[in-house]
Structure 1
């Protein structure tokens, strides 16, 4: 099933996401020792192992989904322009997920720029591919960007997911597959859709 088959809804969004992981998850996460699915599953698994909230686990699981839903395609080490996968991912998720999840997806790139500006030691954690994409994404934030970013009410959670993003690049880590997390994803969707906060 793809979004072209029928409109996305509360009932099929999780199947749509599962299908993306199934069809495209084995694609190379360029410049990293893991596939795209392994990267996202590792972040979610680390979050789950650390007892983080279901919203943070789901955000870690889906933070890079925009690499697959963007009209501009996936990241390449040869890129000379940013592909804005964070915007593409948040756009797909926004109708179905709470702002904590969508903000973590939308701003995980900005969080990298923020941390590079405010915690110089963070830059040393970045892989070569992450440094390359950082340069395309505008580099570390300046003081005015930092001040603006710190106004986001979900800042702490966004930073959590950014650290999970960096942690999920291990060649030797075993994780469950998407279907392990699917009931959790559905719970987060259902809670949001029935809360009246859309």
Structure 2
């Protein structure tokens, strides 16, 4: 027997029962978000693009460094997922990560993740003939300092194959707690 489905073929023909069925399915699907996010993070294994470690290890290492530096759980999860969009959108991977995190984290942390690539560029943009100080255009933004710290202390130093990196299993409970929060701007599904 297939799961119950709404009866309409157009939204303007729907009724409250249809939307209750849809919402029940949505809530069930939403409960599996941690597993789907972790599956996607695992896709970064073996993907090193010439870096000393693969993107998966880099994410784990960034989260490990954040944790060991005393970051709160939300920030550690941001560190873990900051590059999750690399395989889908290499030219704007930060937007993918920010989009995943946005419903569940402080808007300043979302901004940090969305802008981390530009801020990270302080350490390499000049090798491409670009302005390494481009991040300074955002000096007055309330998330400026946290983004500089994230990039300088955790992200740009997390390419060390010899670093004692914590395994993914260590971070799973944190990820589950953050991704199970009620979204900040909770709206009905659909």
Same-fold status (TM-score > 0.5): yes
Equivalenced residue count is: 160
- Determine whether 1:66 maps to 2:85: yes
Among residues 56, 64, 68, which one is paired with 1:49 in the alignment?
Answer: 68
CA distance in 2, matches of 1:104, 1:64: 12
- What is the 5 A alignment of 1:116-195? 116=122, 123=123, 126=124, 135=128, 139-141=131-133, 146-147=136-137, 149-163=138-152, 164-191=154-181, 193=182
Q: Is the 8 A contact 2:58 2:158 kept in 1?
A: yes
**Which segments of structure 1 move beyond 4 Å, counting only runs of 4 or more?**
6-10
Q: Which structure has the larger Rg?
A: 2
SS of residue matched to 2:37: helix
Bigger RCO of structures 1 and 2 (CA < 8 A, at least 6 apart)? 1
CA distance in 1, matches of 2:103, 2:169: 22
Structure 2 portions without partners, runs of 5+: 1-24
Structure 1 portions without partners, runs of 5+: 1-5, 75-82, 117-122
CA-based RMSD: 2.8
CA distance in 2, matches of 1:93, 1:68: 17
CA distance in 2, matches of 1:107, 1:141: 13
